[in-house]
Chains A and B, each alone.
Chain A
Amino acid sequence: DTEVTQTPKHLVMGMTNKKSLKCEQHMGHRAMYWYKQKAKKPPELMFVYSYEKLSINESVPSRFSPECPNSSLLNLHLHALQPEDSALYLCASSQDPGYAQPQHFGDGTRLSIL
């Protein structure tokens, strides 16, 4: 069982919809991450939050908007997505953002854009 919880597990939305993905961890971790994984491809980093502040944006289109309301929660707000945005969206957390700390992943939200 994973200690990083993502909701919903599945989401189908139209290109004009607005929806949000949610990620929660209660391990006291101070770094949180969003990754995108297309079918049969490895995960790719999108955003890094460090101590509740956005520290890394890997040139992600503005139709993806991350938010970190507190140290346990991470949201990804979606608006005007394209069919090519259909993918598995993974959240991860680590004790701190340093590269000696392992990241722990949730099981993801499988997103389909109609």
Chain B
Amino acid sequence: DAKTTQPPSMDCAEGRAANLPCNHSTISGNEYVYWYRQIHSQGPQYIIHGLKNNETNEMASLIITEDRKSSTLILPHATLRDTAVYYCIVRVALGSSNTGKLIFGQGTTLQVKP
């Protein structure tokens, strides 16, 4: 079962910041938070990931609360091409191995409007 909770849908005006929330209250200390998005008919696209600290790259920023129970993905200037399903994923270790398993939840459908 997915370890994250996201709103099913959100709207954002083009050019404005899109803030996508995610709850992961049962996250363990060594589990990373990953964000992916999937545009229709394409494979999931990696956006960003983090453990404890806030992270920023050319696509987005990831803000993780101090208790790590929730996070927010920020797209600073949303465009129409950012319309997609956004998945927040807590990557869990599989068994005793170091292999990280991505368990996708239902995600948030972000609609960017003109």
Given contacts A42-B87, A56-B94, contact A107 B43 (CB under 8 A): yes
> In the complex, what residues of A have CB within 8 A of residue B94's CB?
48, 56
Given contacts A42-B87, A99-B32, A102-B49, contact A2 B43 (CB under 8 A): yes
On whether A107 and B42 interact (CB within 8 A), knowing A42-B87, A45-B102, the answer reads: yes
* Interface hits, A94-114 → B, CB 8 Å: 97-108
Pair B100/A105 contact, Cβ less than 8 Å: no
* Chain A residues, CB < 8 A from B91: 99
CA distance A77 to B19 in the complex (A): 41
Interface residues of B in 24-74 (CB under 8 A from A): 30-32, 34, 36, 41-46, 49, 51
Known: A56-B94, A90-B44. A103 touches B99 (CB 8 A): no
Chain A residues, Cβ within 8 Å of B42: 2, 107-108
CB of B105 within 8 A of chain A? yes
User: Does the CB pair B102–A103 fall under 8 Å?
Assistant: yes
Asked whether, in the complex, the Cβ of A99 is within 8 Å of the Cβ of B43, the reply is no
CA distance A4 to B46 in the complex (A): 13
- Compute how far the CA of A65 lies from the CA of B45 in the bound complex, rounded to whole angstroms: 26
In the complex, 12 of the A-B residue pairs with CB atoms within 8 angstroms, ordered by the A residue number, are: A4-B43, A45-B101, A55-B99, A56-B94, A98-B100, A99-B31, A99-B101, A100-B51, A102-B34, A105-B43, A105-B46, A107-B42
